[in-house]
Amino acid sequence: MLTEENKLRIRISQEEEQRAHFYLLLSRLLGAVADEQLFDVIQNLEIDNSEIGKALGQLKSAAKCTSVKTAAEEYDELFIGVTQGELIPFKSYYLTGYLNEKPLAELRDDMEKLGIAKSDLVAEPDDHIAFLLEMMHGLIVGSFGDPLSVVEQNNFFEKHIFCWAPKFFEDLEKADAANFFIPVGRIGKLFMEVEGEAFLIAA
């Protein structure tokens, strides 16, 4: 029987942690308007010469020459709008053309199995891209229980994210209202490719 003292502690590698933080960063960019603090974070990101690094460089430049207010207005146009934004960033919508369909129900089933709950304070359904990205972060680091194995993470990723998010990020990059968010779309698309490839390498 496991007691608190001899309970297995699962630690994750630094690289897996980096993935998790990346999910959280993207989640934050897509879940709400960016504030000064997030702009600050963006401008201090450490980047390299990888494709993602270059796209992050573009985001850093965008943060330099866009005001928080302008980025917020762009966020509004892209995702909020009058009745809806230019984009509808929900898994159900991308897979069926409608909100609140089976893809959402399937996600909710898995959320329950994984012990993930959404705050009642937020009205959006659970399959918003920002929530899904945040879920991945939690599943990697163990916010809802033990960290998931890479195989389990992959199952979740393929079932709820990989099947639609690359297309969403493409749409974001090409959206009429996008300016600051062009590199966000590019980063997201590249990150999805990296994740897909990384999952193919046995942990």
Partner 1 sequence: MSVKKSKSPSRRDFIKTAGLGVGVAAVASGVLSAGDAEATPLLSTDKATDYRETEHIKKYYESAQF
Among 31, 103, 166, 188, binds partner 1 (CB under 8 A): 31
Residue 166 CB contacts under 8 Å (≥ 6 apart), including other chains = 189, 192, 193
Answer yes or no whether residue 110 interacts with partner 1 by CB under 8 A. Answer: no
Answer yes or no whether residue 1 interacts with partner 1 by CB under 8 A. Answer: no
Residue 149 CB contacts under 8 Å (≥ 6 apart), including other chains = 203
Answer yes or no whether residue 22 interacts with partner 1 by CB under 8 A. Answer: yes
Question: What CA–CA distance (Å, rounded) separates 24 from 124?
Answer: 18
Answer yes or no whether residue 163 interacts with partner 1 by CB under 8 A. Answer: no
Question: What CA–CA distance (Å, rounded) separates 155 from 146?
Answer: 16
Question: What CA–CA distance (Å, rounded) separates 162 from 194?
Answer: 11
Residues in contact with partner 1, total (CB under 8 A)? 71
Residue closer to partner 1 (CB basis): 102 or 145: 145
Binding mask 61-100 for partner 1 (x = CB under 8 A): ---------------x---xxxxx--------------xx
Q: In the bound complex, what is the minimum distance in angstroms from residue 114's beta carbon to partner 1? A: 9
Q: Report the candidate in 85, 42, 92, 97 with the shortest Cα–Cα distance to residue 176.
A: 85
Among 144, 155, 159, 179, binds partner 1 (CB under 8 A): 144
